[in-house]
Homo-oligomer: A and B are copies of this chain.
């Protein structure tokens, strides 16, 4: 017996039928003897429809009014789900973000949670009630309605779990868990029984939308045990928690990859202290997102800096650099499209210096050229030709023993 926070996304509550299905899930855990707080998103396409209504009125709606508009979405879901639970004979109560005590900064559209006032929910739980809270939303100190931005409902669930000291936060989604790599592309991709917060953060772009990185960070900071699981199928998902508590200790946990990568090289730069800062400050100020960065000094006077961007951003990147040529003082720009990024992720590699080397050997054996390399404590990223991407992932998946006939049993 404990407290479980359950989060159901927009697809899981996309129709009355699915809301009734969610009610079943909630009741199942309640009947297992747990206290339950449920966090829900807006129904399916509701948010899109509201955005479109606003779009008929103005092309630049104020963020405050968009928050006012969009938060109605979750408010509809919480009331309907609560009715469904009451209809089944359970005591339940719905709360908007503000009523649930989610206090945020006074910033609309992308506010951060500053505090959780959990008295009200704690009192309901003490009386055996199921609490249904609206995800994605909160209020500021003036009672203004705010939203948490992308991944907001995940963050609400994790924040409530942290504040209420929940035993667990279950993130119900349309996939069954976190996989060693993307099962849509790689045969043999296997669902992981467990993964650490840091690994999950590095793998965030795997199976996009499974869990927002911000929620993972929040969970890490407050040591909230997460489980990503399916709202449709009744099976164990993937546990996300601290390293030490994980049973499965593979050196490499998963392989992330993405295509549409372009390498940009800025050559003939002055070899002084401010060069790096000037280039990347300029790019950031102009909204260009840069991924891998590599600096090399070819002689005493000249330096080259290479970085990767999304191929879609290439044109803008070059525009920004050319516009600020006087300040950056480069001689020329080179670029190479048609690349991909392939990364191996695993906290085991910190204590295993040979992991990067092992990755390069595998790729070399496959005849795959590595264009760029970047390493962190738990990740090694390589940039390769786009046409080599899937082959690289398959070879690495096999070499690091990630493939399996069946998911490991907990």
Contact = CB atoms under 8 A, between A and B. Distances in A.
A87 interface: yes
Interface stretch (A55-63, A283-291, A339-347): A55-63
Interface residues of A, number: 37
A80 to B, nearest CB: 6
A78 interface: yes
Interface stretch (A65-73, A160-168, A245-253, A261-269): A65-73
B68 A79 contact: yes
Contacts of A16: 53, 56-57
A75 interface: yes
A20 interface: yes
Given A68-B75, A69-B76, A94-B68, A83 B99 contact: no
Contacts of A84: 57-58
A22 to B, nearest CB: 12
Interface string A175-202: 0000000000000000000000000000
Contacts of A57: 16, 19-20, 80, 83-84, 87
Interface in A306-343: none
B66 A143 contact: no
Contacts of A87: 57-58, 60
Given A16-B53, A53-B80, A80-B53, A86 B72 contact: no
Contacts of A72: 72, 75-76
A309 to B, nearest CB: 34
A204 interface: no
Interface in A270-304: none
A50 interface: yes
11 contacts: A16-B56, A53-B76, A54-B83, A57-B83, A57-B84, A58-B87, A60-B87, A69-B80, A71-B75, A75-B75, A96-B145
